[in-house]
């Protein structure tokens, strides 16, 4: 009996000791702007870490800063992370990830989130090998799937209009993909570049009469003005296709989109490997989220009088 | 300590910008909006030169020349075409956005794999303990050099005319000088400094982004006013020094707001509150001195 009590006490002590001695991690999360998809990346990331046993409040301290889309502040946030000597930096969206990678200076590992073109952003060399102590998950949009779905839903459509901000590299590279693929699905792409959200109303007035529908990218400026885009397009009776779930929730008709919570989660799992010292950020190959899901907004679908065919209906996630 | 160095580094970079804006905003009394585009202009020129193998130091004079040319265009539109000051700056700012995109080739150019003035074989050859301090020392010297050259210039005949044009254009006319020419010159010098600051910032952060100019003028004006209001009591201190200190203080306020650990929503509000507190406290000290 005595022996078993002693054993039990010893066991408890060992458990307590491992708990107390368990490595404490500090992670700096920098987010470029405030909007649904990027917020999803962040929550997904923290979930991903938790799944690997690194839990906020227990053995993880998260320093979260948001640059509110101010370029002057991105660099300052990143240098503060470096000054606080965090164990790992996370940059959500391209400019923030670049600022982190610069401030980390090869001394602190960096995970990028929601970067559509990691090669053009300088994180990955042209041969697909990480440029330094940086890795992450890219959010290249499933353009082919989107075009196929639009073809099925709008059999007579010829021209797709895309509104994008000329300052966003993500949008520029996605439009290139759209243009190279649109022929296969019998579409033409009519693009319209803007430089600030103030240009959106005029740009839409010029664009809408020329197209049969709009397709949104993950362009930050356009997404932030989505209500206006939808308002103008609905008045013109042109459906707007989105690029992820949040946009469909807000009134886009449908989207072959990415799940940003899942993207964040994958990043969190990568980060856990790096924090535990199981792999270096320089060696973990970056990933691309490829598996699209179809989201449809039933109310909008009904208002345009469109019904999904069987193939789409089976895999569609309906959003009220 | 590392945080203080970060604030100083970025403060000195923006100090060069603030020195330029000091010329237009305080000396010429000209609200020069073109700054929001000449800052990224310097950065775009730098990014494209460095990624094509030019020496990092060479980008500085080239950026300055481009900035000076842009400033001269603002001046020419204002003086020769009689467009209002604010509008001529806006016209140049709007047009330069496209030109900047053309120069850089795309909206975002990373420079992680290239040598810059802060990262090169010379710096990596320094003893490891001193490497961390290299950027801050270099930036301090650069800001100081700009300040000294500006002080020297302002004490020349041309510099005197520049000051007179803002304060008292009639005096300039009575000296048989063309105040329009002086304005164009002032705008060129100012935007040369702004583009220089953009070039240095681009090398410091190691990427160019087309949107890095947004809000530049506001930031610079805030630094100028902060420095000058706060240090007005110190008669011996030159305005140019006050501007540099103002820029560092401004960055310090942002850093403090960031490290307070409050909700990211409140970042700008806290920054604004800190700026207000500094200005008010600075104003109080001055009053005491006046009565004494």
Instruction: Tell me if A72 and B215 make a contact (CB, 8 A cut-off).
Output: yes
Q: Which helix (H) or strand (E) holds B209?
A: strand B207-209
B270–A contact, CB cutoff 8 A: no
Domain boundaries, chain B: 2-214
Through-space distance between the first and last CA atoms of chain B, rounded to whole angstroms: 38
Q: What is the pLDDT of residue A22?
A: 67
ipTM of the predicted assembly exceeds 0.85 = no
Question: Residue A272 in contact with residue A48, Cβ under 8 Å?
Answer: yes
> Which has more confidence, A8 or A38?
A38
B241–A contact, CB cutoff 8 A: no
B289: pLDDT confidence band, cut at 50, 70 and 90? very low
User: Once rounded to an integer, what is the mean pLDDT over residues A27-48?
Assistant: 91
Instruction: Tell me if B112 and A120 make a contact (CB, 8 A cut-off).
Output: no
Which residues in chain B are closer than 8 Å to A66, comparing Cβ atoms?
Answer: 264-265, 267
Q: What is the pLDDT of residue A107?
A: 92
Give the residue on A whose Cα is nearest the Cα of B1. Answer: A83
Number of Cβ atoms within 10 Å of the Cβ of B82 = 8
Instruction: Tell me if B207 and A68 make a contact (CB, 8 A cut-off).
Output: no
Q: Is the pLDDT of residue B292 over 70?
A: no
Number of Cβ atoms within 10 Å of the Cβ of A225 = 21
Number of Cβ atoms within 10 Å of the Cβ of B150 = 21
Q: What is the pLDDT of residue B290?
A: 43
Give the residue on B whose Cα is nearest the Cα of A167. Answer: B107
Query: Percentage of chain B surpassing pLDDT 70?
Result: 96
| Total residues belonging to chain B | 292
**Do the bridges between strand A254-257 and strand A293-297 make them parallel or antiparallel, or are there none, so unpaired?**
antiparallel
Identify the weakest region by mean pLDDT among A56-60, A214-218, B185-189, B277-281.
Answer: B277-281
Q: What is the pLDDT of residue B37?
A: 95
B291: pLDDT confidence band, cut at 50, 70 and 90? very low
Q: What is the mean pLDDT of chain B?
A: 89
Q: How far is B205 from chain A (nearest CA, A)?
A: 6
Q: How far is B106 from chain A (nearest CA, A)?
A: 7
Q: What is the pLDDT of residue A70?
A: 85
Angle separating helix axes B267-291 and B216-230, nearest 10 degrees: 30
Burial (0-12, 13-18, 19+ Cβ within 10 Å), A123: buried
Which residue in B4, B5, B6 has the most chain A C-beta atoms within 10 A of its own C-beta, making it the best mutation to test that interface? B6
Q: How far is A5 from chain B (nearest CA, A)?
A: 46
**pLDDT tens track for A123-140:** 999 888 999 999 999 988
User: Once rounded to an integer, what is the mean pLDDT over residues B66-81?
Assistant: 96
**Do the bridges between strand A60-66 and strand A25-31 make them parallel or antiparallel, or are there none, so unpaired?**
parallel
Instruction: Tell me if B251 and A76 make a contact (CB, 8 A cut-off).
Output: yes
User: Which residues, 6+ apart, have CB-to-CB distance to B156 below 8 Å?
Assistant: none
Q: What is the pLDDT of residue A7?
A: 67
B162: left (phi over 0), alpha (psi -120 to 50) or beta: alpha
Q: Give buried/exposed letters for B265-292 (b at 16+ CB in 10 A, else e).
A: eebeebbeebbeebeeebeeeeeeeeee
B206–A contact, CB cutoff 8 A: yes
Measure the CA angle with vertex A140, ends A240 and A268; round to 5°: 115
Instruction: Tell me if A70 and B214 make a contact (CB, 8 A cut-off).
Output: yes
What structural domains does chain A harbor?
23-139+260-288 (3.40.50.2300), 143-257+293-319 (3.40.50.2300)
Q: How far is B76 from chain A (nearest CA, A)?
A: 26
Distance from chain centroid for Cα A287: 12
Which residue in A67, A68, A75, A96 has the most chain B C-beta atoms within 10 A of its own C-beta, making it the best mutation to test that interface? A75
B1: pLDDT confidence band, cut at 50, 70 and 90? confident
User: Once rounded to an integer, what is the mean pLDDT over residues A228-238?
Assistant: 91
Give the residue on B whose Cα is nearest the Cα of A31. Answer: B264
**Residue B263 DSSP class:** -
Q: What is the mean pLDDT of chain A?
A: 89
**pLDDT tens track for A13-36:** 666 555 555 689 999 999 998 877
Query: Percentage of chain A surpassing pLDDT 70?
Result: 93
User: Once rounded to an integer, what is the mean pLDDT over residues B110-127?
Assistant: 88
Q: How far is A312 from chain B (nearest CA, A)?
A: 36
Give the residue on B whose Cα is nearest the Cα of A119. Answer: B110
Give the residue on B whose Cα is nearest the Cα of A67. Answer: B264
Q: What is the pLDDT of residue B271?
A: 80
User: Which residues, 6+ apart, have CB-to-CB distance to A214 below 8 Å?
Assistant: A160, A161, A162, A163, A207, A208, A229, A233, A238, A239, A240, A241
User: Once rounded to an integer, what is the mean pLDDT over residues A204-222?
Assistant: 91
Q: What is the pLDDT of residue A2?
A: 66
B82: pLDDT confidence band, cut at 50, 70 and 90? very high
Which residues in chain A are closer than 8 Å to B2, comparing Cβ atoms?
Answer: 82-83, 85
Q: Is the pLDDT of residue B262 over 80?
A: no
Q: What is the pLDDT of residue A11?
A: 66
Q: What is the pLDDT of residue A31?
A: 95
- Written as six digits, the tokens of A273 are 């490997």
Instruction: Tell me if B205 and A70 make a contact (CB, 8 A cut-off).
Output: no
- Written as six digits, the tokens of A320 are 């009220």
A106: left (phi over 0), alpha (psi -120 to 50) or beta: left
B237: pLDDT confidence band, cut at 50, 70 and 90? confident
> Which has more confidence, B54 or B168?
B54
User: Once rounded to an integer, what is the mean pLDDT over residues A167-185?
Assistant: 90
Q: What is the pLDDT of residue A15?
A: 60
Identify the weakest region by mean pLDDT among A175-189, A193-207, B88-102.
Answer: A193-207
B286: pLDDT confidence band, cut at 50, 70 and 90? low
């Amino acid at each position: 009996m005595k022996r078993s009590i002693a054993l039990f006490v010893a066991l408890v002590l060992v458990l307590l000791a491992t708990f107390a001695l368990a490595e404490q991690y500090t992670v700096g999360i920098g987010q470029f702007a405030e909007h649904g998809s990027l917020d999803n990346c962040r929550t997904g990331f923290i979930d991903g870490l938790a799944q690997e046993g690194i839990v906020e409040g227990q053995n993880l301290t998260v320093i979260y800063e948001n640059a509110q889309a101010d370029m002057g502040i991105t660099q300052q946030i990143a240098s503060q992370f470096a000054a606080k000597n965090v164990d790992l930096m996370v940059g959500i969206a391209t400019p923030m990830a670049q600022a982190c990678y610069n401030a980390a200076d090869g001394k602190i590992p960096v995970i990028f989130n929601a970067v559509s073109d990691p090669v053009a952003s300088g994180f990955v060399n042209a041969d697909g090998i990480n440029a330094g102590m940086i890795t992450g998950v890219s959010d290249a949009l499933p353009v082919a799937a989107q075009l196929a779905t639009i073809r099925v839903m709008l059999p007579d459509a010829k021209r797709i209009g895309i509104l994008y901000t000329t300052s966003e590299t993500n949008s520029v590279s996605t439009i290139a993909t759209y243009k190279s693929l649109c022929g296969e699905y019998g579409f033409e792409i009519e693009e319209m570049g803007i430089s600030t959200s103030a240009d959106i109303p005029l740009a839409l007035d010029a664009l809408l009469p020329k197209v049969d529908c709009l397709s949104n990218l993950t362009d930050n400026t356009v997404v932030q003005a989505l209500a206006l885009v939808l308002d103008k397009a609905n008045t013109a009776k042109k459906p707007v296709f989105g690029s992820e779930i949040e946009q469909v929730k807000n009134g886009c008709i449908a989207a072959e989109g990415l799940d940003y919570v899942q993207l964040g989660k994958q990043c969190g799992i990568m980060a856990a490997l790096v924090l535990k010292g199981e792999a270096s950020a320089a060696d973990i190959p970056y990933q691309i989220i490829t598996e699209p899901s179809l989201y449809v907004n039933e109310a909008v679908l009904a208002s345009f009088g469109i019904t999904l065919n069987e193939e789409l209906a089976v895999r569609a996630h309906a959003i009220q | 300590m590392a945080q203080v160095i970060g604030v100083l580094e970025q403060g000195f970079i923006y100090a060069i910008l603030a020195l330029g804006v000091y010329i237009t905003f305080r000396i010429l009394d000209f609200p020069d909006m073109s700054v929001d585009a000449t800052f990224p202009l310097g950065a775009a020129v730098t990014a494209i030169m460095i990624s094509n193998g030019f020496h990092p130091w060479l980008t500085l004079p080239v950026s300055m020349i481009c900035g000076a040319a842009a400033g001269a265009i603002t001046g020419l539109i204002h003086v020769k075409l009689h467009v209002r000051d604010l509008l001529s700056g806006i016209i140049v700012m709007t047009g330069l956005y496209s030109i900047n995109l053309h120069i850089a080739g795309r909206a975002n150019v990373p420079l992680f794999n290239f040598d810059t003035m802060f990262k090169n074989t010379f710096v990596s050859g320094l003893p490891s303990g001193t490497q961390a301090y290299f950027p801050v020392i270099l930036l301090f010297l650069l800001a100081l050099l700009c300040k000294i050259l500006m002080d020297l210039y302002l004490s020349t005949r041309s510099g005197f005319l520049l000051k007179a044009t803002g304060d008292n254009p009639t005096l300039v006319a009575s000296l048989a000088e063309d105040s329009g020419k002086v304005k164009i010159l002032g705008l060129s010098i100012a935007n040369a400094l702004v583009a220089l600051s953009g070039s240095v910032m681009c090398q410091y952060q190691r990427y160019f982004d087309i949107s890095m100019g947004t809000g530049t003028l506001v930031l610079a004006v805030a630094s100028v006013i902060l420095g000058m209001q706060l240090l007005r009591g110190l008669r011996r201190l030159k305005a140019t020094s006050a501007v540099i200190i103002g820029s560092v203080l401004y960055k310090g306020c942002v850093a403090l707001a960031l490290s307070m650990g409050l909700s990211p929503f409140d970042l700008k509000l806290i920054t604004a509150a800190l700026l207000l507190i500094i200005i008010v406290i600075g104003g109080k000290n001055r009053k005491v001195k006046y009565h004494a």
